[in-house]
């Protein structure tokens, strides 16, 4: 009776060892795959002094374009508000004139 228990225990022990080894191998493969997919160092091309000057000019050009766009938008909004104001004034004056006409002049004609 002792003999089957001993072999069963050894078999369980061997299965556990085999499972542990398979997990270790699987983890090593995953680590290797991760190491291959992600570079350790990000590299950049060496920038010479001329390219730095060009980079600064590009930055200034972008800033100037942004300021010009902002200024254009502000001017367009101011013009639109002025036109809307003139149109509203015209409508108000026209409505008041029409009301005055209806109240005073049209009554006299009928």
Tell me the pLDDT tens digit for each residue of 41-62.
667 776 666 666 677 888 889 9
Residues 107 and 70 in one domain: yes
Count: domains in the chain = 2
Q: Is 61 within a domain?
A: yes
Most confident of 26-30, 47-51, 105-109: 26-30
CA atoms of 19 and 26, how far apart (whole Å): 10
Residues 34 and 77 in one domain: no
pTM beyond 0.75: no
Q: Is 33 within a domain?
A: yes
Residue 72 pLDDT exceeds 90: yes
Kindly tell me the sign of the dihedral angle through the C-alpha atoms of 53, 58, 61, 67.
Answer: negative
- The closest of 73, 54, 50 to 62, measured between CA atoms, is 54
Between these two residues, 53 and 71, which has the higher pLDDT value?
71
Q: Is 46 within a domain?
A: no
User: Which residue segment(s) compose the domain that 2 sits in?
Assistant: 1-39
Residues 56 and 107 in one domain: yes
Least confident span in 37-41, 77-81, 99-103: 37-41
């Amino acid at each position: 009776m002792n003999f089957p228990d001993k072999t069963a225990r050894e078999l369980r022990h061997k299965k556990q060892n085999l499972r542990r080894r398979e997990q270790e191998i699987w983890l090593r493969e995953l680590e290797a795959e991760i190491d291959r997919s992600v570079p350790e160092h990000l590299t950049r091309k060496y920038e010479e002094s001329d390219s730095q000057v060009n980079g600064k000019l590009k930055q200034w050009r972008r800033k100037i374009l942004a300021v010009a766009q902002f200024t254009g938008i502000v001017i367009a909004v101011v013009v639109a508000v002025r036109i809307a104001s003139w149109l509203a004034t015209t409508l108000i004056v026209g409505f008041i004139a029409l009301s005055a006409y209806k109240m005073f002049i049209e009554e006299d004609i009928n």
